[in-house]
Structure 1
């Protein structure tokens, strides 16, 4: 079920109906990353200036410059999940509607959540994701544990957010959360796939749109299983 959903989502991500949304999603993701990068570099420059590193220790200034560049790259990787959630919230309904219409034409279409509710939910969860990833960043240099913490935390957070946003087009949010808990293995497996994408440069830019398509397919398949067999785990 997960393999079929992932293959269908990958096909949908580059399909003509979603191509315009793909470019918008990429543009917004890159734009937010650039803004964060500029903000972080200004903080580093302000720190260096306040400690007079340039005037007192030119060699240390050069070393700090290159170390800061690596540090900022790592920081952006840890901020990417929160940015992905925000971007997905902007394009969820348009992208989900296309996926539903093209791959599930016989099913009733989903209903978009009120814009204010959807944004509040996305911003709140993006904030949680940001805090969790900042905590994971603290242990980045601990061998194995740092990467494992990043992967595990984001597998859960991305599975929860993307699946519940997709499911909320067909059921109230509490029911969407309950459905995710009913099928923990499949939803968490999808989250693991999204978390793995996060650590691959360039590919991680596709996460918002791919995640939407993936969870729409997964929700549809799990909904059909519920109708055939009744709710049950895994």
Structure 2
């Protein structure tokens, strides 16, 4: 888990990688601003008590709540941004670390957008569902990291894996390595909670997951229709 992350971090100075990170930074700031604006608008436009001074207190507290909610939803929302930039990220990583790889599976822009939207919707929806638990001390850490670790681990993995495997192969590899990928997702989630760092981290996270993916035994799956593990030798 450490070596793939160090490889991803080590590529930050590369010009190709920096150009992608620059765009990702702009998208990240825009995404957070949209989340913050929408959350704040939703809170202040909802009347909870119908009493002026109570509504003012709710609106005041709602500003802080909006920041917290936007912060919590940010990792999931960035999945869509990463899906749109993944090919450039992957190309930069593969050019440096895996130059002998064959061309990836061709994907249409509509497929990429649909995958990104689906993953983003799942992550955001489940975070909203568990939102009340995020305000309970101690429990919130385990729920947030565990839930988003699983979700982001799976989503980043599938974004990377679908470039090389058909959907059936992606599911098979996920089942074989789900605990390792869940742990990678928890690392990604933890890093995405660090202010400012989280604006750059989605690009590094995508590169990190690509390195992990290339370390998995997926090539036999990609070249075979047999998705069952080999029978043990007696």
**TM-score normalised by the chain length of structure 2:** 0.86
**Structure 2 CA distance for aligned equivalents of residues 60 and 127 of structure 1:** 31
Compute the displacement of 1:47 (Å).
3.1
Aligned residues: CA RMSD: 2.5
Alignment of 1:3 onto 2:2: yes
Q: Is the 8 Å Cα contact of residues 110 and 169 (structure 1) preserved in structure 2?
A: yes
**Structure 2 CA distance for aligned equivalents of residues 123 and 224 of structure 1:** 25
User: What do the CA deviations read for 1:3-24 (whole angstroms, capped 9, x no partner)?
Assistant: 1101101122342221111011
Compute the displacement of 1:49 (Å).
10
Alignment of 1:204 onto 2:214: no
Higher-helix-fraction structure: 1
**Structure 1 CA distance for aligned equivalents of residues 206 and 128 of structure 2:** 24
Q: How many residues align?
A: 224
Structure 1 runs, 4 residues or longer, greater than 6 Å off: 224-227
Partner in structure 1 of residue 44 of structure 2: 45
2:62 to 68, 74, 78: 68
Q: How does 1:1-234 map to 2 (within 5 A)?
A: 2-47=1-46, 51=50, 53=52, 57=53, 61=56, 63-223=57-217
**TM-score normalised by the chain length of structure 1:** 0.86
**Structure 2 CA distance for aligned equivalents of residues 50 and 138 of structure 1:** 20
Compute the displacement of 1:181 (Å).
1.6
User: What do the CA deviations read for 1:104-132 (whole angstroms, capped 9, x no partner)?
Assistant: 11222323422111211221121111111
Give the direction of change, closer, same or farther, for the CA distance of 1:231–1:205 in structure 2 (3 Å limit). Answer: farther
Q: Is the 8 Å Cα contact of residues 26 and 206 (structure 1) preserved in structure 2?
A: yes
Structure 2: runs of 5+ lacking an equivalent: 222-227
